[in-house]
Amino acid sequence: MQATGSQFDEEEYSLRKRLPPRLPLRPNDVYVSERTHFKAQENRCQKLLDSGNEVIIHGLGKAVNRAINLALQLQTLGAGTVQLATQTSSVEITDDLIPETDEGEARTSTRTNSAIHIRVFRACKEEEGQQKSESMDQTGTSAAASSSKS
């Protein structure tokens, strides 16, 4: 949580975190937070999975663990029909340093945080599932692009 690479006096600046930039929000994107009830998240994902055969779970920073846990839970519930494709990325996050004295300049510090994007999907055939996961690897950074193809 410390702003990396920049030294500032605690007395003169207060730190305010901006929201991280988000990936696009489609109906089957689920952003996992630490605060939401786990069971509720699980139910929500299960519903989306049942209706569309595909959910993409995003977790940032502290919520990475939770996202993985959620995805694994969905997999076990699916009893072998559900597959996972995982991507990791780094998200650039900006913190604002707001001066508390009149002389202070406004400053920002950027840091990176790790994020995870898990595609949970039900493959009808074995090949199709493989194809999808391959395409996912090709697209690299954005999980969004792969899902829009499918």
Partner 1 sequence: MSRKRKLEDPQSSLPTPGGPPYAKKISFNQKQIYKEAVPITDIKVSSFAEHRAIEIQAMTELVKDTGGNHTAFQKLPRHMRRRAMSHNIKRIPRRLHAVAKQELSKTKAPGKRPSRRHRRRPSNLLSEYERRKRKIGWLETHIWHAKRFKMVEKWGYRLALHPNDKSIRACYRAVKHHCLLQDVSFEACIELKGPRQTVLDGLRHLTSSDTGLTFAAKITSNGTRQGHLTLYTMDSYPVKAIGPVTYMWRAQPNDKDPESVSKLNTLWISCHPSIYNDVWNEVQKCFGAQRAEDYNSRSMESTLVLKDEEKVTIKSLKDQLVKFRLFGPASNLILAETLKLADTEISKVSSSERQEVVENPKRKSFWWKNYYSSADMKQRFAKQSELWSKVSKCQSPSEAPPNCILALTVRDPRLLLPPKKNKVKTTNFESVTQALPMDLFDDGIACSPLWESCIREELKATKFSEQELNLMKSKHLVPGTPLELGDMESRIPIVLIQRPGVWNSVASQTNPSHSSGWDLMIPSGFAMAFWVALVYRGARVGGIREAKSICLQAGMLSPPDDYPDSRAGQVELKTECELREAKHNRMPPAKRPNFVKLGFVSPFSFEFEKLTKEWVDKWCCAYDSKCEIKKGIPKDLSVMRNLKMLRLMQSSSKNPKGYCKDRSKDKTFNNNQEQSVLMKILSTEIGRTLISEKLFSLIPVRLCILQRGVPATYGHICLPSQEDLKVLDGDKTFGGPFEPKHKDPGQAARKEERKERLRLRKRKKRGKGKKEKVVESSEDTKEVQLDLEVKLEVSEENQGGKEVDSLLKSTSRDIIGFVKSGDFDLATGQGLGFGFCSVAALLALIENQKHRRFCLALVRNPTSLQYRFATISLLV
Residues forming contacts to partner 1 in the complex (CB under 8 A) are 14, 16-26, 35, 92-94, 96, 98-106, 108, 110, 141-142, 144-145, 148
Nearest residue to 21 via CA among 146, 121, 141: 141
The CB-of-100 to partner 1 minimum distance in angstroms stands at 6
The CB-of-77 to partner 1 minimum distance in angstroms stands at 27
Question: For partner 1, which is the closer residue by CB, 36 or 73?
Answer: 36
Q: d(Cα 102, Cα 65) in Å, to the nearest integer? A: 42
Question: For partner 1, which is the closer residue by CB, 22 or 47?
Answer: 22
Question: For partner 1, which is the closer residue by CB, 23 or 68?
Answer: 23
The CB-of-48 to partner 1 minimum distance in angstroms stands at 17
Question: For partner 1, which is the closer residue by CB, 5 or 24?
Answer: 24
Q: Is 138 left (phi over 0), alpha (psi -120 to 50) or beta?
A: alpha
Nearest residue to 55 via CA among 22, 23, 86, 30: 30
The DSSP H or E segment spanning 135 is helix 126-139
Q: What is the 3-state secondary structure (H, E, C) of 32-52?
A: CCCCCCHHHHHHHHHHHHHHH
The CB-of-43 to partner 1 minimum distance in angstroms stands at 18
